[in-house]
Amino acid sequence: MARDILSPNQVDMESPGRRDYWVALGHTSVWGSHLIPLTVIVGPQAKAGEGLVAFGANHGNEYEGPVAIKNLLREIRTEDVLGRIVLVPVLNVSAFRVGTRESTVDDGYNLNRVWVDGAGTTPALAGITHRIVEFVRTVIWPHVHISIDLHSGGEVARFPHWAVYMAHDNAEKNERRQQMARWFGCSVIMGSSSPGPSGINGALFQDADNLGKDAIATELGHGSSTDVRGVRYARQGVLAAAIHNEQLRGSIEPIDHHADGTQCLVGNSASVTAPYPGHYEPLFDCGAVVSKGTTVGLLHDFYRMDEDPYECVAGVDGIVISQAWGARVDQGQTILMVAEKVE
List contacts with Zn ion (CB under 5 A): 59, 62, 151
Residue 58 CB, nearest approach to Zn ion (Å): 6
Please give the sequence-ordered ranges of beta strands (E in DSSP) within 183-325, or none if there are none. 188-192, 214-219, 264-273, 278-282, 289-290, 295-300, 310-313, 318-324
Q: Which is nearer to Zn ion, 84 or 229 (CB)?
A: 229
Nearer to Zn ion, 143 or 151 (CB): 151
* CB nearer to Zn ion: pick between 41 and 95: 95
Nearest to 64 by CA among 152, 164, 182: 152
Amino acid identity, position 292: K
Burial (CB count <10 Å: 0-12, 13-18, 19+), residue 137: middle
What is the Cα–Cα distance from 290 to 342, expressed in whole angstroms? Answer: 14
CB of 269 vs Zn ion, minimal distance in Å: 17
Query: Minimum CB separation from Zn ion for residue 151, in Å?
Result: 3
> Could you tell me the smallest distance in angstroms from the CB atom of residue 65 to Zn ion?
9
Element (H, E) at 301: none
The least CB distance from residue 194 to Zn ion, in Å, is: 18
Which secondary-structure segment (H or E) carries 163?
A: strand 162-166
Largest CA distance in the chain: 70
Provide the terminal-to-terminal Cα distance of the chain, rounded to the nearest Å. Answer: 49
Pick the closer one to Zn ion by CB: 224 or 269: 224
Q: To the nearest 10°, the Cα dihedral for 173, 178, 180, 184?
A: 170
CB of 210 to Zn ion, least distance (A): 19
Nearer Cβ to Zn ion (34/151): 151
- In whole angstroms, the minimum distance from the beta carbon of 119 to Zn ion comes to 18
User: 184 vs 310, which CB is nearer to Zn ion?
Assistant: 184
What long-range pairs does 70-75 form, CB within 8 A, spacing at least 24? 71/231, 71/235, 72/235, 72/238, 72/239, 73/20, 73/39, 75/235
Minimum separation from the CB atom of position 227 to Zn ion (A): 13
Which residues touch 172 (CB under 8 Å, ≥6 apart)? Answer: none
- Nearest to Zn ion of 203, 274 (CB atom): 203
d(CA 50, CA 13): 11
- For Zn ion, which is the closer residue by CB, 41 or 69? 69
CB of 240 to Zn ion, least distance (A): 21
Beta bridge partners of 289: 319
41 in helix, strand or coil?
strand
Q: Which is nearer to Zn ion, 62 or 83 (CB)?
A: 62
